[in-house]
Amino acid sequence: MPADKHPLIHFPSEPVLLPVRSKETDKVEFVSLRKLLETRCKSLFQEFKELWWLSNGHLQTLYCVTGDFSKNDHMWYNRTYLRLSDGGTLGLDFAPVDQSTVPKDAPIVVVQHGLTGGSYEAYVRAILSRACLSQEKGGLGYRAVVINFRGCAGVPITSPLLYSAGNTDDSRCALMYVTQQFPNAPLLGLGFSLGANVLTRYLGEEGIDSKIHSGCVLACPWDLRQNNRGLLSTFFGKHVYSKALGGNLFGVMKRHLSAFIEDETHIVAEAAKATLTLKNPTLDEFDEAFTRIAGGPAPRWPFPNVDAYYGWCSSDIIVPRIRVPFLAINADDDPVVKHVPMDGGGNNFVVMTLTKGGGHLGWFQAGPGYVDRWTTKPVIEWLKLMGQDLIQDPVPKGRRLFTDVDGFLREKGRETLGVKVIDGGGIIDGNKGEVGMRQGL
C-alpha cells in the first residue's frame, strides 16, 4: 500500500474565533480558526508528493542549495536603507518595484529570511511572485517587504553587531518604518528557518501589541539547543549541514570584518579575532565564538556560553504568548530541525503542521513544467485569508511613534531604538544570489 502523505495538523482544543466576511451574505461572522483553514486553506490538508528523485529529507534539503531556480518566480525590489540608532544598517526590499500600483492600505507581507539569505532566495520568491502579482493576473495584489538582516543580501555592516536567532530589535525598527509609511495596511508576517524563529519570538514578546497582524513560519528551528544536539548527533548532520551553516556565517563575518574590529578594545573585536582562527567551524562552534557575543545588544548579550544563548533565543518557549493567528509548517524528515513542538504551546491562536517529507525549506514537487514547492499554495491561501477575508482592527497596533530632534523614528517607551532613512538603495535584482554564500539556508 502506498504511504499516506497527508500532513499531520494540530489544532488547539478551542481554536480562536475570528471575524470574517461571509462569502454568501457579505456580513461579518465569527468563525473558528480551524473551520477557516478547513474551508479557505484547503491545500494545507492535501498530500505532499515529492519528486521521485528527491525522495528523502537529505535530497530535498541539498536541492535547496544546489538547484537552479533562476528561470522561475522572478522578483525585482525597490530597496530602502535604514540607519539604526546604534549605527547599524538594514535593507528593506519592497515589491512590486512600482509602489504606486498598490493601494496604500493593501496587505503587506513582511518577510524574515533564513540564516544567511535575503530577498533573492528562491523560497522567498516562490511566494512573493504570486502574492505581489496583480489580481488581474491571478495574484493577490499585495505589497511585500523583505527585512534583509545586517550583512545579508548586499546590506553593509556599519556597527560592531551581527544579527541572531533571538534578537528581535532590528525587526521592531523595520516595522516602525513600515507602519509609519503604511499605517492602514495589515501586516502579514512570513518567516523562514532562522527568520521564522525571529518572527515567532517577536510575536510572542509583543503579544497584543504586535504590529504584525498574523504569522506564518516555515522550517522554524524552535528549540535551538535540542536541534543543535540533533545536528551534531550524526556524521552527515555535523560535517555537512552544521558546517555549511557555520561556514556561511563565518563568510558573513569575514566579509564585514573591518566593522567588527574597528575598535580593537571592544569585546566584539576580540571575539572576531578569535573566530578567525577557527577552521571550517560547525554552526555551534561559530555561535560559541562569535554570535553569543555579537548577536545582539546589551544587556542581554553577551551570553556566558553557546548553550545559554540557544536556551534564551529558542522560540518554542514563547509560543504560548502569541496573540495573532499563527500557522507553522515543518517537515518530519527535516535533517536540520528534528524536534517540533506539535502541541502549539496550548495556544488557541496557533496551528502546527508537520508534513510527511519535505526536508529543510524544500517541499519540492512536480509543478507546471518545473519544480514547484508544496508549501507555496497553502501559504498563499493563508495570506489571502489573513489579508482579504479576515476583518482587521482599524486601530494601529503597538506603541506610539514619534520623530526625535535627530530625525530618528522612535517608539514611546522604547526610546533606545530608532531608525531613519539614509541614501542608497533603489532597484534591486532579486534573482541573483550572493557571491560566496550557499543559497537555500
Alpha-helix residue ranges (DSSP H) falling in 19-102: 33-40, 57-66
Question: Which whole number is the average pLDDT over 348-377?
Answer: 93
Residue 387 pLDDT more than 60?
yes
The pLDDT tens digits of the residues spanning 99-142 come to 899 999 999 999 999 999 999 999 999 999 999 999 999 999 99
How many structural domains compose the chain?
Answer: 2
Amino acid letter, 412: K
The answer on 158 and 21 residing in a single domain is yes
Domain assignment present for 286: yes
pLDDT higher than threshold 80 for residue 156? yes
Read off the amino acid at residue 246.
Answer: G
pLDDT at site 440 = 78
Shared domain check, 405 and 349: yes
**Cross-strand bridge partners of residue 402:** 410
What stretches of 256-372 show up as alpha helix (H) in DSSP?
257-261, 267-275, 283-286, 292-294, 306-313
Q: Is residue 294 part of a domain?
A: yes
pLDDT at 14 over 70: yes
User: How many residues make up the chain in this entry?
Assistant: 441
Single residue among 290, 313, 336 that ends a domain in this structure: 313
**What is the pLDDT at residue 396?**
75
Catalytic, 171? Answer: no
Average pLDDT over residues 242-249: 95
Query: Which tens digit of pLDDT belongs to each residue from 266-302?
Result: 999 999 999 999 999 999 999 999 999 999 999 999 9
Model confidence at 441, in pLDDT bands (50, 70, 90)? confident
Residue type, position 406, single letter:
D
pLDDT score for 2: 59
Q: Which domain holds residue 296?
A: 224-313
Q: In DSSP terms, which residues pair with 145 in a beta bridge?
A: 94, 110
The strand pairing partners of 111, in sequence order, are 146, 190
Banded model confidence at residue 66, pLDDT cuts 50, 70, 90: very high
Same domain (yes/no): 182, 327: yes
Q: Is the pLDDT of residue 64 over 70?
A: yes
Give the model's confidence band at 77: pLDDT under 50 very low, under 70 low, under 90 confident, else very high.
very high
Indicate whether 236 belongs to any domain: yes
Please say which residue of 257, 279, 313 terminates a domain: 313
Domain assignment present for 140: yes
Q: Are residues 148 and 179 in the same domain?
A: yes
Of 274, 297, 313, which residue sits at a domain end?
313
Average the pLDDT over 338-366 and give the result: 96
| Active-site residue, selected from the candidate residues 193, 214, 242, 315 | 193
Residue 250 and residue 147 share a domain: no
Question: What pLDDT is stored for residue 22 in this prediction?
Answer: 81
**Is residue 77 in a domain?**
yes
CA–CA dist 432, 296 (Å, integer) = 29
In a domain? residue 439: no
Sheet holding 76-84, edge to edge: 8-10, 350-355, 326-331, 214-218, 187-192, 108-112, 143-148, 89-95, 76-84, 414-429, 409-411, 401-403
Check if 193 is active-site.
yes
256 is a catalytic site residue: no
Alpha helices in 296-375 (DSSP H): 306-313
Q: Looking at the structure, do residues 168 and 306 belong to the same domain, yes or no?
A: no
Read off the pLDDT of each residue in 245-267 and give the average, rounded to a whole number: 95
Do 414 and 327 have their domain in common?
A: yes
Give the model's pLDDT for residue 24: 76
Three-class DSSP category at 288: helix
Assess whether 154 and 181 both reside in one domain: yes
- Round to whole Å and give the CA distance between 267 and 332: 40
| Confidence grade of residue 230 (pLDDT, cut at 50, 70, 90) | very high
Rounded distance between C-alpha atoms, residue 27 and residue 49, angstroms: 38
Catalytic residue among 73, 287, 333, 334: 334
Please tell me whether residues 267 and 256 are part of one structural domain. yes
- Assess whether 40 and 76 both reside in one domain: yes
Closest CA to 132 of 107, 149, 104, 105: 107
Q: In the predicted model, is pLDDT for residue 1 greater than 70?
A: no
Within-domain flag for 437: no
Residue with the bigger pLDDT between 399 and 331: it is 331
Share above pLDDT 70 across residues of the chain, in percent, rounded to a whole number: 100
- Nine-digit cell string for 14: 478551542
* Within a domain: 2: no
Decide if pLDDT at 234 tops 70.
yes
CATH number where 126 lies: 3.40.50.1820
pLDDT above 70: residue 432 = yes
* Whole-number average pLDDT of the chain: 94
- 222 pLDDT tier (thresholds 50, 70, 90): very high
> Do 30 and 109 belong to one domain?
yes
**One domain for residues 344 and 300:** no
